[in-house]
Structure 1
Amino acid sequence: MAQPAFEEIVEDFEFLEDWEDRYRHVIDLGKAMAPLDDALKVPANKVEGCASQVWLYPTTQDGRFRFDGDSDAMIVRGLIAVLKSLYNDLPAGQVRSVDAQAELGRLGLQDHLSAQRSNGLRAMIGRIREVSAAE
């Protein structure tokens, strides 16, 4: 079961029929996201495998997983916002059980992202799964 914030994005995507409108919506989600503090943009938080610069900073508080992130590319910032809506506030032990590909498939992202962006998205998901297991 996806988080309520992710379900809102799914509903928004159902309302927006044109992919360009959906793309703009993803970018707007990224613009609305608070930037990651520059002090956290360090190699340990950098996601390898992305064409853009991407940083993810995970935390666990009261048993709940959260992460903040940032990128130098607006569409990637938007993808980070989508991933935050999917993962943030889950019990830390449930993060790895999320079928991100299936959930994101509900948005049709895989059909409209370049191969490089798709690889970067997979790298971000892999990093989230990896760090959640270590938290």
Structure 2
Amino acid sequence: MATEAFEDIAETFEFLEDWEDRYRHVIDMGKAMPPLEDAFRVPATKVDGCASQVWLVPEIKGDGPSAVFTFRGDSDAMIVKGLIAVLHALYNDLTVRDVTQVDALAELGRLGLNDHLSAQRSNGLRAMIERIRSIAATTAR
């Protein structure tokens, strides 16, 4: 269950055969994201478990399981900001119910990220996914 935006990323990754090119593409995606205002860079939005500084700000439209999930995010590391952009493509504009159903690790596995991220980056990515899923699950109740 991937969004069209995520499918576009997967298609681009198929075209980019070299991992270095894929890595640069992820970084470019991060550079294209708008920065998060300093007012949102607070402990409540900070994701624990990431080696880099990471902030995720959910923006839920509606109530209950059919509420629509979006978020903004930022990091002090360019590759991590790119990973936030990938998660943005994976989750944005889904209902909170659908967010909880996405097998993020399997979807990200299609991109080959699991094989090319350091252990710390992989742990941070899982922490971001868990934060997103937790927010969605709480909202879906």
TM class by shorter chain equals over 0.9
- Which residues of 2 match residues 11-30 of structure 1 at below 5 A? 11-30=11-30
Q: Size of the alignment, in residue pairs?
A: 135
Aligned position for 1:76: 80
TM-score by length of 2: 0.94
- Letter of the 1:124 partner, please give it: M
- Match among 121, 128, 134 for residue 132 of structure 2: 128
SS at match of 2:50: coil
Partner SS, residue 44 of structure 2:
helix
CA deviations over 1:76-108 (Å, ceiling 9, x no partner) = 000000000000000111111100000000000
Task: Please name the residue that 1:97 is paired with.
Answer: 101
SS in 1 for 2:47: coil
Equivalent residue number for residue 117 of structure 1: 121
Secondary structure class of the residue paired with 2:127: helix
User: 2:32: which partner in 1?
Assistant: 32
Structure 2 stretches of 5 or more lacking a match?
A: none
Any unmatched runs of 5+ in structure 1?
none
Residues 54 and 70 of structure 1 are in contact (CA less than 8 Å); yes or no, is this contact kept in structure 2?
A: yes
Structure 1 residue 61, shift from structure 2 partner: 1.0
Measure the CA separation in 1 of the matches of 2:48 and 2:104: 19
Per the TM alignment, residue 22 of structure 1 is displaced from its structure 2 partner at its CA by 0.1
- Aligned to 1:31, the other structure's residue is in SS state helix
Residue identity (%)? 72
Q: Which runs of 4+ in 1 moved over 3 A?
A: none
- How far apart, CA to CA, are the structure 1 residues paired with 2:24 and 2:85? 13
TM-score (norm 1): 0.98
Q: Which residue of 1 aligns with 2:8?
A: 8
Equivalent position amino acid for 1:55 in 2 = W
